[in-house]
Amino acid sequence: MTGRDGRAAATTAGDRHRIAGRAVAVSPHLDDAVFSAGGTLAALVAAGWTVRVVTCFTATVPDPPAFALACQLDKGLPADVDYMALRRAEDRTACAVLGVRPVHLPLAEAPHRGYADADALFAGVRRGDPAVEMLAPALRAYLADADLVLAPQALGDHVDHQIVAETVAGIAADAFWWRDVPYVARRPAATPWRCVPAGVEVAVDIADHLVTKVDAAGRYRSQLAYQFGDAGAAVSLRDLAVAEATRLDVAGAVEALRGPTTDRLPLGGRSVPGAAVGPP
Ligand SMILES: [Zn+2]
């Protein structure tokens, strides 16, 4: 595997611990990358990669507006809990399970940016949303030296996911794009957001890493009931990995990524090329 700058491994003379490459997963919220691509991240770590999960919308906002506060209360958390601090702590724990490094960008989630109810979160990006301009400068430094960038397809149409997808597409056109969990489980035929480039679909074999993924996902305790319901994260994530394998006509348990080519995903021959896919 060589990076976009031709680097195949750490190049400093005398490096005792050669690394296979640097990967960055760009997560809209504190859980998306692990829920959607946690098996791939674990596989990269196992293959010697250094992996960062950069989560974009993680800021604590004092005195949240009504809808933002409701998003906390409906998770069973009282108003005096610093909801985002709790979620940042969950993310650090989940990332430790995977062996990846968490980075928390200080942008506010959509309910703090004028999206006033649940419908608004899925009705397109508001004119003048400050996150559209703020995200690229906040993200660029983390992507500059990445050999591999992972990002959401924005299945499910959440505005924060769409903004992340648009921003990453503008910085790292050769990224690989994951299918957003749990949205993809509800709508397996959903198509990527319009900014996601055409490419090939790659089935990443995560069978050896599913236990680790489920362990990591379970650390987002505040989100589990809301996102996975009575089925729970473990059953849901296992079922999804098998369903994705069936969809792509491969064996086992997989995460499906869309990318520019099959051979840039360096997972020790685990990648199985899927069908070429065109624009959504
Ligand atoms: Zn999300």
Average pLDDT, the chain: 89
- pLDDT at residue 105, as a whole number: 98
- Read off the pLDDT of residues 160-180 as tens digits, 9 standing for 90 and up: 999 999 999 999 989 999 999
Helix (H) / strand (E) element for 163: namely helix 159-171
Residue 40 has pLDDT above 90, yes or no: yes
CA of 32 to the centre of ligand 1 (A): 5
CA of 261 to the centre of ligand 1 (A): 26
CA of 16 to the centre of ligand 1 (A): 38
1-10 average pLDDT score: 40
Residue 150 has pLDDT above 70, yes or no: yes
Pairing relationship of beta strands 101-104 and 50-55 according to DSSP bridges: parallel
**pTM value?**
0.90
The rounded distance, in Å, linking the Cα atoms of 96 and 175 is 24
- Read off the pLDDT of residues 110-144 as tens digits, 9 standing for 90 and up: 999 999 999 999 999 999 999 999 999 999 999 99
Residue 213 has pLDDT above 50, yes or no: yes
Residue 280 has pLDDT above 70, yes or no: no
CA of 29 to the centre of ligand 1 (A): 5
CA of 156 to the centre of ligand 1 (A): 9
The rounded distance, in Å, linking the Cα atoms of 128 and 125 is 9
Local structure of residue 230 (DSSP, 8 states) = G
Q: Please give the CATH topology (third level) of the domain spanning 22-277.
A: Rossmann fold (3.40.50)
Residue (of 110, 185, 116, 173) closest to 146 by Cα position: 173
The pocket of ion ligand 1, defined by CB under 5 A, consists of: 28-29, 32
Please give the distance of CA 44 from its chain centroid, rounded to a whole number: 14
CA of 244 to the centre of ligand 1 (A): 20
CA of 224 to the centre of ligand 1 (A): 13
Residue 9 has pLDDT above 50, yes or no: no
Contact 22, 148 (CB under 8 A): yes
- pLDDT at residue 154, as a whole number: 98
CA of 31 to the centre of ligand 1 (A): 7
Which of 2-11, 31-40, 122-131, 223-232 has the lowest average pLDDT?
2-11
- pLDDT at residue 30, as a whole number: 98
- Read off the pLDDT of residues 237-270 as tens digits, 9 standing for 90 and up: 999 999 999 998 888 999 999 998 877 777 743 4
Domain ranges of the chain: 22-277
How many Cβ atoms sit within 10 Å of the Cβ of residue 18? Answer: 11
- pLDDT at residue 205, as a whole number: 93
CA of 192 to the centre of ligand 1 (A): 15
- pLDDT at residue 210, as a whole number: 97
State whether the Cα torsion 260-264-269-212 is positive or negative: negative
191-229 burial, b at 16+ Cβ within 10 Å, e below that, comes to ebbebbeebbbbbbbbbebbebbbbbbbbbebbbeebbe
CA of 55 to the centre of ligand 1 (A): 10
Reduced to 3 states (helix: H, G, I; strand: E, B; else coil), residue 133 is helix
CA of 84 to the centre of ligand 1 (A): 13
Which of 17-21, 35-39, 220-224 has the lowest average pLDDT?
17-21
CA of 157 to the centre of ligand 1 (A): 10
CA of 255 to the centre of ligand 1 (A): 17
CA of 28 to the centre of ligand 1 (A): 5
